[in-house]
Structure 1
Amino acid sequence: MGTNLFQWLFTDAVTAGSNANLTGSEPFHFLWPWLIFCLAGLLITFYYSVEGRKRFVKNKPLIKYMLDRYLGWFAVICFIGLPLIGARVLLDGYFFSWRAWRYLWLLALVIWAIVWIVYLVRKYPQEKAEFLAYQKRQQYIPKGNKRKVRTASR
Structure 2
Amino acid sequence: MIYVFDTSSLSSLKHFYPGVFTTIWDELDGMVNSGMLISTKEVWNEMQRGNSAQHTNAWLKSRKQIFTTPSAEELRFVAEILAIRHFQTLIGERQRLMGDPVADPFVIACARVHQGTVVTEEQFKENAAKIPNVCAHFHIPCTNLEGFMQSLGWSF
TM-score normalised to structure 2 length:
0.25
Q: Which has the larger radius of gyration?
A: 1
Greater fraction strand: 2
Greater fraction helix: 1
